[in-house]
């Protein structure tokens, strides 16, 4: 009730190595059947069809709707333990159990229903993001048409909001001074050797380093740890950015300045760019 369009999508890997017609297909579609090794790993992989409703590589027909239609997507997983799918909808968001997102996890022999009210016109992808499934053909297209004549003035009836944001790198020391820990927590002398404490690496920077209490580490130890930390995590500290407020119908202009030491990109999730 109250749904304009319904679609049923069955995500499954069909293994044609188990087909009763495998030998007939080898005889009919290979140049020299005697040279076909049915146990060859590449041959067996080529017979696994990563399909949605039996279709592969964008050939699934009928996924059409109008902008602002109320659409119900019924998603079904079927198969073996290999059939663990990360279903992703490009271009528009879905409502799943009261949460707004653009994808969901689909496991074998489970199903789910996601609601969508597309607000973008165009042709978009619905795919499985599991890498070998995606490469194997589990990717299709759905089309959203305007279906109604709306003027540009009607579409842009909200306010214009301007925001300035920047990416910055900050070295942040999460470790506290542990010098009083042995007395407060009754730590033995053996356990003291594993405490984390602060060593000044530069006049204005502190970095937590591992060592024995009272032991002076070599001059390069902290700088090396800083390099290793940056290589491991990219940044010593990363946190969520500022919250940008807007209302339905508003236009948002974001001016982004990259003040970091490496490139960054900005992506608008769930809204029309």
Separation CA 260–CA 273 (nearest Å)? 24
Q: Which of 102, 149, 106, 117 is nearest to 5 (CA)?
A: 117
Please check whether residue 48 is in contact with residue 13, taking contact to mean a CB–CB distance below 8 angstroms: yes
Predicted local confidence at residue 266, as pLDDT: 77
Q: Exposed, middle or buried: residue 128 (CB in 10 Å: 0-12, 13-18, 19+)?
A: buried
Q: Exposed, middle or buried: residue 54 (CB in 10 Å: 0-12, 13-18, 19+)?
A: exposed
Predicted local confidence at residue 228, as pLDDT: 37
Residue 16 has what DSSP assignment? G
Neighbours of 235 (CB within 10 A): 17
Which residues are CB-neighbours of 96 under 8 A, at least 6 positions away?
Answer: 104, 112, 114, 115
* Widest Cα–Cα separation across the chain: 82
CA Rg, the chain, in Å?
28
Predicted local confidence at residue 7, as pLDDT: 95
Domains defined for the chain, CATH in brackets: 5-145 (2.60.40.420), 181-233 (no CATH)
Which residues are CB-neighbours of 51 under 8 A, at least 6 positions away?
Answer: 11, 12, 13, 14, 137, 138
Predicted local confidence at residue 267, as pLDDT: 73
Torsion, CA 98, CA 62, CA 53, CA 138, rounded to 10: -80
User: Any idea which residues carry the catalytic annotation?
Assistant: 128
pLDDT in tens, the chain (273 residues): 788 999 999 999 998 888 898 888 888 888 888 888 888 888 888 889 999 999 999 999 999 999 999 999 999 999 888 889 999 999 899 998 888 988 899 999 999 999 999 988 999 999 999 898 999 999 999 999 988 655 444 455 678 888 888 888 777 665 555 555 555 555 555 544 444 443 333 333 333 433 333 333 444 444 444 433 333 333 334 456 677 888 877 888 888 888 888 888 777 766 666
Predicted local confidence at residue 9, as pLDDT: 95
């Amino acid at each position: 009730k109250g749904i304009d369009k319904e679609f049923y999508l069955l995500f499954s890997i069909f293994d044609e190595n188990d087909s009763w017609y495998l030998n007939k297909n080898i005889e009919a579609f290979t140049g020299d059947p005697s040279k076909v090794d049915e146990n060859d790993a590449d041959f067996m992989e080529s017979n696994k069809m990563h399909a949605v409703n039996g279709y592969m590589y964008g050939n699934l027909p009928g996924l059409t709707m109008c902008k602002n239609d109320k659409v119900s997507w019924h998603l079904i997983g079927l198969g073996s333990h290999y059939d663990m799918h990360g279903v992703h909808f490009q271009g528009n968001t879905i409502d799943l159990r009261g949460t707004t997102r653009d994808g969901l996890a689909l496991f074998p022999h489970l199903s789910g229903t996601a609601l969508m009210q597309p607000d973008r016109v165009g042709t978009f992808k619905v795919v499985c993001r599991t890498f070998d499934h995606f490469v194997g053909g589990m990717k299709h297209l759905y089309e959203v048409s305007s279906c109604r004549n709306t003027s540009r003035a009607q579409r842009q009836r909200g306010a214009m909001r301007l925001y300035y944001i920047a990416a910055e790198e900050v070295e942040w020391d999460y470790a506290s001074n542990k010098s009083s820990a042995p007395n407060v927590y009754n730590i033995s002398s053996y356990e003291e050797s594993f405490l984390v404490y602060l060593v000044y690496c530069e006049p204005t920077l502190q970095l937590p380093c591992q060592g024995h209490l009272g032991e002076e580490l070599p001059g390069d130890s902290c700088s090396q740890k800083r390099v290793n930390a940056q290589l491991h995590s990219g940044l010593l500290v990363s946190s969520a950015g500022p919250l940008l407020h807007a209302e339905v119908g508003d236009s948002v202009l974001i001016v982004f300045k990259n003040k970091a030491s490496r490139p960054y990109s900005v992506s608008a999730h769930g809204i029309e760019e």
